């Protein structure tokens, strides 16, 4: 509930009250949806990679269930990031799609999410599915730094990061604050969705166990 409230506050502030951009006018306002989406598209995959290592190295069964649940949410939020980016590209670049390094690597991320879900669903032996899924997740994590650093490594249509962990930012505070609230709000919302999704998946997977029947 807190996450949704913060998300609504950030979007309302950004869409209705933040000033126009000097160059892009009102079209920039989609950043309040696009930027949080692509941030968590990457963070969710990184979380999955950590869980995959836990499953492969220490055989933590819960970690595999978390990967499966997170992949569904990751695929959805990555699609939102790609779709919102395409909308933003029309007024900014004059086209909805370019084989730009960052766009292409983000598309690969979406394909990875879908591939992970498809791979896991194609096996009736869940233990084998968990292991192969974890291996694929670990292999695919190499794409995360490519997405992050593609603007620095190659000539792309995307501009360099406007916000830095060092504190340097080129975004005016009147735009930065609602963006920050949107990111935090989406984060809390996705965590809540992840908990609900994981619980539902684990109870369904372990439906024949006594403890699962008691918690249905």
Residue entry with tokens 């916000």: 163
The three-class DSSP label of residue 169 is strand
Q: For 78-90, what is the mean pLDDT?
A: 95
Cα angle for residues 109, 90, 158 (degrees, 5° grid): 50
**Taking a C-beta distance cutoff of 8 angstroms, is the pair 67, 52 a contact?**
yes
**Taking a C-beta distance cutoff of 8 angstroms, is the pair 73, 114 a contact?**
no
* CA pair distance 189, 80, nearest whole angstrom: 15
* CA pair distance 101, 142, nearest whole angstrom: 15
Q: For 176-193, what is the mean pLDDT?
A: 96
Tokens representing residue 94 in the block: 């004059």
* 129 alpha-carbon distance from chain centroid: 23
Neighbours of 167 (CB within 10 A): 6
pLDDT tens figures, 132-169: 999 999 999 999 999 988 877 777 777 777 766 555 67
Per-residue DSSP letters for 134-163? HHHHHHHTTHHHHHHHHHHHS--SSPPPSB
Mean pLDDT comparison of 94-108, 123-137, 151-165, 199-213, highest-scoring range: 123-137
Q: Could you list the residue range(s) of the whole structural domain that residue 162 is in?
A: 2-21+28-214
Return phi, psi of residue 21, to 5°.
Answer: -80, 145
Q: For 58-62, what is the mean pLDDT?
A: 94
| Number of domains forming the structure of the chain | 1
What local confidence, expressed as pLDDT, does residue 100 receive? 87
Give the CATH number, domain containing residue 96: 1.20.120
* CA pair distance 50, 31, nearest whole angstrom: 28
Work out the pLDDT band at 206, boundaries 50, 70, 90: confident
């Amino acid at each position: 509930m807190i996450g949704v409230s913060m998300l609504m506050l950030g979007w309302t502030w950004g869409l209705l009250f933040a000033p126009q951009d000097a160059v892009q006018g009102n079209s920039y306002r989609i950043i309040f949806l696009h930027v949080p989406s692509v941030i968590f598209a990457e963070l969710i995959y990184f979380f999955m990679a950590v869980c995959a290592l836990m499953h492969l190295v220490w055989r933590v069964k819960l970690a595999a269930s978390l990967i499966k649940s997170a992949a569904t949410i990751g695929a959805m939020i990555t699609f939102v990031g790609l779709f919102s980016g395409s909308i933003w590209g029309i007024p900014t670049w004059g086209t909805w799609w370019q084989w730009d390094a960052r766009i292409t690597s983000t598309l690969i991320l979406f394909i990875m999410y879908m591939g992970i879900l498809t791979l896991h669903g194609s096996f009736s032996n869940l233990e084998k599915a968990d292991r192969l899924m974890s291996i694929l997740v670990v292999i695919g994590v190499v794409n995360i730094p490519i997405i992050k650093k593609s603007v620095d490594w190659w000539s792309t249509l995307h501009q360099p990061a406007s916000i830095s962990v060092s504190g340097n930012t080129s975004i005016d505070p009147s735009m930065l604050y609602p963006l920050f609230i949107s990111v935090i709000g989406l984060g809390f919302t996705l965590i809540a969705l992840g908990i609900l999704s994981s619980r539902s998946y684990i109870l369904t997977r372990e439906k024949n166990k006594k403890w699962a029947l008691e918690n249905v």
